């Protein structure tokens, strides 16, 4: 979920290119490949290697304030990041607005649908007086692509998938904070972009139980709250709380929704639950998903498990 800045250095490119050229051209010419063609092949290969680093995940925003989020979801500076297609940050051109299918999230997430989830929680749950449909819809206004990509059925499936994972994480919107979360350490001290405040805890909070300092920091940058110094805001402001869940979803889950519900589980908690890690949790998520799909009148699709 972290963004990385990459800067192309011309001198390094040239110094890399010339030894490769001198080494390969004599051998390849003997195979019938012209020197000019081989030169172009090497140069294109190097350029592509520099542009698409293999150890970086795409679709990551929530960059530091001085960095731009490129059209491909990487953090950095310069025209490649801040120019055409720039999504957020100090863009030098107007951020692009992705096309949507015109679906109305409010029409899908009706009062009856939302309250149906909330009513599954016990009466003394703290979430019953915290999570509201109005706060959810207010938060959705900041995420134009949520529930609006693909067909009308795709919109319903994404919304069902989102609330299925939310229902599992919070006990049907019962919990605001992780049980015994304050006793756990979610500070990644190796992450210098989003350093921990030693007086704060980054345990699970909100509809998708946002955890770790780097998630609080990146979410804060994206939706404009001080995630590192005031992580408790996620448990006191219902709109911010839903925004963090939607930020996490759009940053890490939205792009795999077409692969089936199982891909959403893998994106959220795959390392712990998938491949037999916690089959009970996986089945819980699937149960909520199929239930919500039925309520929304849409087939759940294939690849539900992970």
Angle, helix 10-29 to helix 35-51, in steps of 10 degrees: 140
Residues whose CB falls within 8 Å of the CB of residue 6, separated by 6 or more in sequence, listed in order: 50, 53, 74, 76
Taking Cα atoms as reference points, which of 137, 146, 128 lies closest to residue 110?
137
Taking Cα atoms as reference points, which of 249, 190, 199, 192 lies closest to residue 219?
249
Helix (H) or strand (E) run with residue 261 in it: helix 261-273
Question: From the candidates 158, 169, 178, 273, which is the catalytic residue?
Answer: 169
Taking Cα atoms as reference points, which of 55, 85, 56 lies closest to residue 70?
85
Alpha carbon of residue 262 to chain centroid: 16
Determine whether 169 is an active site residue.
yes
| β partners of residue 88 | 69
Rounded CA-CA distance 150/147 in Å is 9
Residues whose CB falls within 8 Å of the CB of residue 223, separated by 6 or more in sequence, listed in order: 142, 240, 243, 244, 247
| β partners of residue 69 | 75, 88
Residues whose CB falls within 8 Å of the CB of residue 298, separated by 6 or more in sequence, listed in order: 153, 156, 157, 160
Residues carrying an active site annotation: 169
């Amino acid at each position: 979920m972290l963004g990385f800045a990459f800067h192309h250095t011309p001198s390094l490119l040239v110094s890399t290119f010339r030894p490769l050229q001198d080494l390969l051209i004599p051998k390849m010419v003997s195979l019938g490949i012209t020197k000019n063609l081989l030169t172009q092949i090497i140069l294109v290969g190097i350029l592509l290697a520099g542009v698409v680093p293999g150890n970086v995940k795409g679709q990551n925003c929530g960059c530091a304030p001085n960095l731009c989020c490129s059209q491909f979801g990487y953090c950095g500076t310069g025209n490649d990041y801040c120019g055409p297609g720039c999504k957020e940050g100090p863009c030098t051109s107007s951020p692009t607005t992705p096309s949507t299918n015109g679906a109305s999230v409010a029409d899908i997430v009706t009062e009856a649908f939302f309250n149906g989830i909330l009513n599954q929680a016990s009466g003394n749950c703290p979430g019953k007086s915290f999570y509201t449909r109005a706060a959810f819809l207010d938060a959705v206004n900041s995420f134009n692509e949520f529930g609006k990509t693909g067909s009308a059925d795709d919109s319903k499936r994404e919304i069902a998938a989102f609330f299925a994972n939310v229902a599992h994480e919070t006990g049907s919107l019962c919990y605001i904070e992780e049980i015994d979360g304050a006793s756990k350490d979610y500070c990644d001290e190796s992450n210098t972009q989003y350093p921990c405040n030693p007086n704060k805890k980054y345990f699970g909070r909100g509809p998708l139980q946002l955890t770790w300092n780097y998630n609080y920091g990146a979410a804060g940058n994206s939706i404009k709250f001080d995630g590192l110094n005031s992580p408790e805001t996620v448990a006191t402001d219902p709109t911010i709380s839903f925004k963090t869940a939607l930020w996490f979803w759009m940053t890490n889950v939205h792009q795999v929704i077409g692969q089936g519900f199982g891909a959403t589980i893998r994106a959220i908690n795959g390392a712990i639950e998938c491949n037999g890690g916690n089959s009970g949790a996986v089945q819980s998520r699937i149960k909520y998903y199929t239930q919500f799909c039925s309520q929304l009148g849409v087939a759940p699709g294939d690849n539900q498990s992970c």
